[in-house]
Structure 1
């Protein structure tokens, strides 16, 4: 076989594989759509529904995409799908972690959410997080994604383990999660400061899909975020005292410290150390509660 013939065969193979993935993606979307009842997503069933599960136009509405575009996707047409749209579809179709990963794989895309494993979180860093207990600690990137955390932190602001991995983002949680918000003393001040810190980091990530996806979701789901984001305030990182109202042990006054994991601002270990003996005792109680919860799972 000549070199040209080999190249032609390779191109045909690639095209064939892409076509197979499109048909698999179309079938997967249909199957997920048909298993969800209108009531599960807050839509009326109506008297003349023939389609099992959701209609195509309902999925399009929930995902904020065009009906025609979504129909083409289920027809396996050769169209480009952004990670933002894939994320919206995953949430609209209530996909679990395995299904979400399958969706992105079929689309030939990389999932940019915190659910994706982070290679910078080494076994040594995970051991450090455990070794700091009962002090709450997490590893976070410049986008506020929570990429690793210890057992005390998991119960500092509600139950982090019960939240889907794709929602493990402090910015998203402080603006949209009621349990998280109820745990933060001085919530409005915290929200404004976090938005200003996010804008400071955003300058180094303009145009990146993961950042665009996070900002679009925040602007869609939180009027308060839109208000703070439009202030164009910028604040750098600094240590500070934070106050939390924990559902298990009550008021906690903790010193927030960022420990940078590289020469450039980005990934960091965040620790919350008690400022007094009462706080230390309450963190130890919270740690005991966290160990009990872990043993039950």
Structure 2
């Protein structure tokens, strides 16, 4: 165990994370760059004293459970998680939970699709990357805490005004069924991940519809090839849906495109101009 290198690595990873990245308030008196030690400890489910001792290079040998908590709390990439394990003298095992790290080439791809709305979702349906048109079509994900970017949580537990369930998409009920099935498969792939377990427990206790679908034990879902968004500014927007699986990250790139020359193509063009500046218009 290399205590000094481990301490420096933990401190550097903590200082790069903003409170907003993990859904915490920034506050006017924050002097520490990134997260405070007590915040990192809370997110890792360990005591502040224990975390402080690790950053001061005088902590005990951390267990695999502690290292998994630190990796989640500090939002480490797969490579960083492995490095953390090596510094602690514990050989890295398989990824403990769904990856949130999006390859730079995929982020570049999203930006190169100006006429298409595109998002990247994790294995738990959290929107982890998006382009400007997707934010205009759906919502400004940058203004949300990570937990509020989760589409399966939104479809089952979010507010659903008349005709506006999950952005008013025409296949909201179908998405609910498909997401429940895919989440069951995700839970089987990551049986020890507490975030997956908490998400499933929250959905089971908060949604009778999800509980019914979960009890069916179905894991196969039919792809959606076309859907219509009911947008509060430009009205109905019908798009083709194409999903690209990133199997090495257990992620999915979802691309929405309108038929050339259609009213929906013009609607997307208008949304690219509006951006998210008026996304507070009531639905």
TM bucket by the smaller chain? 0.5 to 0.7
Matched, 1:162 2:91: no
> C-alpha distance in 2, partners of 1:270/1:120?
16
Separation in structure 2 between the aligned mates of residue 212 and residue 153 of structure 1, nearest angstrom: 29
Q: Is residue 215 from structure 1 mapped to residue 190 from structure 2 by the alignment?
A: no
Query: Structure 1: where are the runs of 5+ without partners?
Result: 1-6, 12-16, 18-90
Counterpart position of 1:249: 234
| 8 Å Cα contact 1:139-1:147 kept in structure 2 | yes
Q: 1:272 aligns with which of 256, 259, 273?
A: 256
SS in 2 for 1:281: helix
Task: Assess if the C-alpha contact under 8 Å between 1:115 and 1:166 holds in 2.
Answer: no
Q: Which residue of 2 aligns with 1:183?
A: 168
Query: 2:133 corresponds to which residue?
Result: 152
Per-residue CA shift, 1:129-152, capped at 9, x if unaligned?
Answer: 111123110111221121111111
Q: Match of 2:137, SS?
A: coil
Give distance in 2, aligned partners of 1:266 and 1:130: 21
**CA distance, structure 2, for counterparts of residue 292 and residue 239 of structure 1:** 29
Partner of 1:251, secondary structure, is strand
1:286 equivalenced with 2:215 (yes/no): no
Structure 2 CA distance for partners of 1:177 and 1:256, relative to 1, 3 Å: same
Q: TM-score, normalised by structure 2?
A: 0.60
Q: Which has the higher contact order (CA 8 A, sep 6+)?
A: 2
Residue 283 of structure 1 deviates from its aligned partner by 0.9
The 1:182–1:131 alpha-carbon spacing in structure 2 relative to 1, beyond 3 Å, is: closer
Could you report, residue by residue, the CA deviation over 1:144-171 in whole angstroms, capped at 9, with x for unpaired residues? 1211111111132333333212322111
Distance in 2, Cα, partners of 1:115 & 1:255: 33
- From the superposition, tell whether residues 289 and 240 of structure 1 become closer, same or farther in structure 2 (CA, over 3 Å): same
Match in the other structure for 1:130:
111
Larger Rg: 1
Higher helix fraction: Structure 1 or Structure 2?
Answer: 1
| TM, length-normalised to structure 1 | 0.58
Q: Which ranges in structure 2 are unaligned for 5 or more consecutive residues?
A: 8-21, 27-34, 52-68, 78-98
Residue 103 in structure 1 maps to residue 42 in structure 2: yes
How far 1:175 moved relative to its partner? 1.6
Cα contact 1:258–1:271 (8 A) shared by 2: yes
Is the Cα–Cα contact under 8 Å of residues 175 and 191 in structure 1 kept in the other structure?
Answer: yes
What is the rounded CA distance, in whole Å, between the counterparts of 2:230 and 2:188 in structure 1?
Answer: 33
Partner of 2:179: 194
Secondary structure in 2 aligned to 1:132? coil
Deviations 1:257-291, CA, capped at 9 Å, x for gaps: 111223x5821211111135211111111111117
Count of residue pairs brought into register by the alignment: 206
- Secondary structure of the 2:128 match is strand
Report the 3-state secondary structure (helix = DSSP H, G, I; strand = E; otherwise coil) of the residue aligned with 1:218: helix
Partner of 1:172: 153
